[in-house]
Amino acid sequence: KMAGGSSNYWEDLRKQARQLENELDLKLVSFSKLCTSYSSSRDGRRGDSNSDTTPLLNNSTQDRMFETMSVEIEQLLAKLTGVNDKMAEYTSTPGVTSLNAALMHTLQRHRDILQDYTHESHKTKANFLAIREREDLLGSVRKDIETYKSGSGVNNRRTELFLKEHEHLRNSDRLMDDTISIAMATKENMTSQRGLLKSIHSRVNTLANRFPAINNLIQRINLRKRRDSLILGAVIGVCTILLLLYAFH
């Protein structure tokens, strides 16, 4: 009777294991189809930019289905693990030692099935999450592109204004460089003329000392030279001020 009761207990465990395995097989098939349909609906939204509302609703529904099916599959895997643990406890019972080899073979087969289903569940879930993450990223990139396109007119106008201002600054710098070059050349020319005038003045003073009669003539020449120098300096100053005003206008 004990042997018969133990045998019935083992058969009940096997029936529970097979039933859970069948349910898991159906759930995993549906889980895989959900992943495929989610990818297809996202592809459809990329191909049709005018159907944003419906695909978003479908994907939201699929997200809820994904969460629900994940929980159901985890519960079935936990139940199947519990049945396998009970079967393992049964094989270690002293009264069934003679059948231990056959029982261990059956138990190992159920364990392999459990391991395969667990691996398939984790793989399908990882694929689904990867597809959703990739599609969310692509959707974010598309939104950024549309935002950029909608604001491209304002951005182009700002860029054009910046380019014009940059060109104006470059022209001002170029004009300042030309003004400085002219001023330096004028300074060098005036320095050269100053040396020449000093030499001439020295010679004229020598002649004046030798011939006092022409001293009055030399003084008149000096007065005219000073007047010319003042006029030339005033002209140069006015020209420089006008160039600076034009450069910073």
Distance CA 155, CA 202 (A): 70
Q: How far is CA 106 from CA 44, 82, 102, in A?
A: 47, 16, 6
* The model's pTM: 0.49
Q: What angle separates helix 152-210 from helix 215-247, to the nearest 10 degrees?
A: 180
Cβ atoms < 10 Å from Cβ of 79: 16
Q: Can you tell me the mean pLDDT for 134-140?
A: 77
Q: What angle separates helix 100-150 from helix 152-210, to the nearest 10 degrees?
A: 50
pLDDT surpassing 60 at residue 240: yes
Give the percent of the chain with pLDDT over 90: 19
DSSP 237-249: HHHHHHHHHHHT-
Q: What angle separates helix 2-47 from helix 53-91, to the nearest 10 degrees?
A: 160
Mean pLDDT of the chain: 78
| Tens of pLDDT, residues 183-234 | 888 888 888 888 787 777 777 677 666 666 666 777 788 888 888 889 988 8
CB 94 within 8 A of CB 34: no
- Lookup: tokens for 201: 């003045």
Q: Identify the burial level of 92 via C-beta atoms within 10 angstroms of its C-beta, where 0-12 means exposed, 13-18 middle and 19 or more buried.
A: exposed
- Lookup: tokens for 235: 């002209």
Angle at 41 between CA 121 and CA 146, to 5 degrees: 125
Distance CA 54, CA 41 (A): 10
